[in-house]
Structure 1
Amino acid sequence: MKLLIVIPHYNHLTTLKSVVQRCLDQNPNVAVFDDGSDVSPAEILKGLPVTLVRFEKNRGKGAILQESAKWAAAHGFSHIVSIDADGQLDPAEYPLIAKAAEEHPHALIIGVRQFGPDAPKSSQFGRKFGGFWAHLQTGKTVNDIQSGYRCYPVEILNHIKCFSKRYAFEVEIAVRALWAGFPLVEVPVSVSYSKTRVSHFSKLKDNLRLTVLNTHLTVRSMLPIPHRQYFVDNAGQVEKRGYWEALVLNLKTPGNITKNALSAAWGIFCGAVALPGIRQLMLFGGAGWWNLNRILTISFEKFCIGPLVSALCIEVGFFLRYGRFLTEFNLTTLGRQFWQRVWEWVLGSCIVAPILALCAFLVVWSIGYLVNRGLCAREK
């Protein structure tokens, strides 16, 4: 492992030198990537053993991080540790990030800011709001998806494609890394907010970009299309995993047997429950929140399309109301008493949906268990 500290810089001349000096105290490999500042920081950094890479035009923090990963890879670095140039984060806590990277060399390390009483309410809300969307999109808990104190394996930045180029990039790369199968490790770090701190975050433009991004990621997370997966081979190299290889690995992983069974059960439950329109939100929301197998969830939900399950719910609801089953189907029972049948459909689905979900869970779990045993026995 060889770590490079990267400081994305844009018009923070008053704090840049101090941040660089404190970074050099932790790691002699420090590079400043200037994102088209009004004044070049070359004079400020004169005499310091630091690399300066300057871009004439402002391109955004995400673009700078991607360029820094390419530069790091070309110069023999395996990881970059990014830290903001505004002095908000403490370079002295670099060893915490570096230790986590050493223990988890293929993981994205995020420094979770520990907010104090001086933290702006907007930052506290933004962290919680961002964490909610990240959980919905990935099924994983991410406590500070907007933190700028991170360690990226260059393989993550160089393998995963993102369309965000500014602040939203840090959100997108974390979500896509989790989708791709890379681990995410969190480390608590301190943060300070100075009254003179300069922030280039635009409440209008950047929040709009985050809204568009979260909409895109949420919709993508709902689609029953597998995400591109990566794995670490025996030589420690990261390679893309083919669809069938990923499917076989999914079946061979014991923890996924229960996950796949829960996915099928949730699909059946949402398809059977009598909440038209709302059940689609339940289906996709639950699949994202619990990180279920969306292909199985949506596929099993389709089993409930048609009159069979609805008729079963009506019969059960009718039985609960009158102690007998509905056997007369005519203009009166299906026409004039329409709203009574709807109520019985809703009532009956409260019984039918959980029972069908339990049956789906047991069937899929049993099949997964048998397939897993067969695959493992074939390998032996």
Structure 2
Amino acid sequence: MPDHRPLVLIPSYNTGPILRQTLDAVLRANVPVWVVFDGSTDGSPELIKDLSSPHLKVLSLEKNSGKGSAVLYGLKAAMTEGFTHVLSMDADGQHPAEKIREFFAISAEFPQAAIFGRPVFDSSAPALRVNGRKISNFWANLETLGWGIDDSLFGMRLYPAADLLAVMESTQFARRFDFEPEVAVRLAWRGVPIINLPTPVLYPKAEDGGISQFRYLRDNTLLTWMHLRLMLGFALRFPYLLLRGDNPLESENPPSR
């Protein structure tokens, strides 16, 4: 069986007190957890200084460079220490720590695959966000000829580290809000099998510490430009994508719950 050493990688930018709650939950999984502070200026690094765990490691970027940049920074450091897979999670309490073990187990069985969370929304999810992501999902599946990206924007994903590094080094983009959809498409172009795992998602209220870095005009403009670029890449790759067949692990997708 190939070597399989996964870790949880959490990029964080001005997440506030909810970061501590997120880490308290994630550390209960008893797996390696790395936090990458992306130039945070809100004092949140101080909030976790007293956390003592042999599983926790904290890295920092001096200035805010974007989620994709923070993931890339942590990814490179993790690979130098022999980790083979990274499970990216948001720091704001949206992603369920109790699913970590399931992501790891599926990855151990299929180490060649990327495991993408398929969000299961509850009543806390803003309708604008739920419906708006359908547009990006449509384009991502067109750009990959239906390789199997159930949700192009959801941030709880487990990646084979070498494949993620390869696709990120193949582009100067995918460094900010365009990180998840762009790497999803590029992993599909690379032929990385994708398994979609139904995953509950929460949107904590502001009074509970919930915070969002999403900016409607800025980030939708970024996504529009991204899909224009990716459509050009799709056109160049179309003959190859047409001939190569379907996602070989499509049948391994767990049923919706």
**Fold conserved (TM > 0.5)?**
yes
Q: Deviations over 1:344-365 (max 9, x none)?
A: xxxxxxxxxxxxxxxxxxxxxx
Conserved? CA contact 2:17–2:47, under 8 Å: no
Q: TM-score, normalised by structure 2?
A: 0.85
Pair 1:224–1:168, CA change in 2 (3 A): closer
Match of 1:203 among 188, 197, 216: 216
Question: Offset of 1:226 from its aligned partner?
Answer: 6.8
Letter in 1 for 2:91: A
1:212 has 2:222 as partner: no
Conserved? CA contact 1:127–1:143, under 8 Å: no
State the identity %.
Answer: 35
Q: Which residue of 2 aligns with 1:177?
A: 187
Q: Which residue of 2 aligns with 1:62?
A: 68
Match of 1:83 among 45, 68, 89: 89
Quick check: which has more Rg, 1 or 2? 1
Separation (CA, whole Å) in 1 of partners of 2:182 and 2:77: 21
Once the two structures are overlaid, the 10-residue window that deviates more, 112-121 or 10-19, is 112-121
Question: Offset of 1:195 from its aligned partner?
Answer: 2.1
Separation (CA, whole Å) in 1 of partners of 2:237 and 2:8: 38
Q: Which residue of 2 aligns with 1:14?
A: 17
Query: What secondary structure is seen at the aligned counterpart in 2 of 1:223?
Result: helix
Separation (CA, whole Å) in 2 of partners of 1:136 and 1:195: 34
Letter in 2 for 1:65: V
Return the structure number with greater relative CO, CA threshold 8 A, min gap 6. Answer: 2
Q: TM-score, normalised by structure 1?
A: 0.58
Conserved? CA contact 1:81–1:152, under 8 Å: yes
Question: Offset of 1:46 from its aligned partner?
Answer: 2.0
1:106 has 2:112 as partner: yes
Separation (CA, whole Å) in 2 of partners of 1:40 and 1:59: 17
Query: What secondary structure is seen at the aligned counterpart in 2 of 1:84?
Result: coil
Q: Which residue of 2 aligns with 1:152?
A: 159
Query: What secondary structure is seen at the aligned counterpart in 1 of 2:46?
Result: coil
Match of 1:292 among 242, 248, 256: 242
> Larger % of strand: which?
2
Match of 1:35 among 13, 38, 51: 38
Q: Which residue of 1 aligns with 2:80?
A: 74
Query: What secondary structure is seen at the aligned counterpart in 2 of 1:106?
Result: coil
1:122 has 2:113 as partner: no
> Larger % of helix: which?
1
RMSD of Structure 2 on Structure 1 (CA): 1.7
Question: Offset of 1:63 from its aligned partner?
Answer: 0.8
Conserved? CA contact 2:37–2:45, under 8 Å: no
Query: What secondary structure is seen at the aligned counterpart in 2 of 1:77?
Result: coil
Pair 1:176–1:20, CA change in 2 (3 A): same
Q: Mark the runs of 5 or more structure 1 residues left unpaired by the alignment.
A: 228-290, 295-380
Question: Offset of 1:40 from its aligned partner?
Answer: 4.4
Q: Deviations over 1:6-40 (max 9, x none)?
A: 11101112111111111111133111100001134
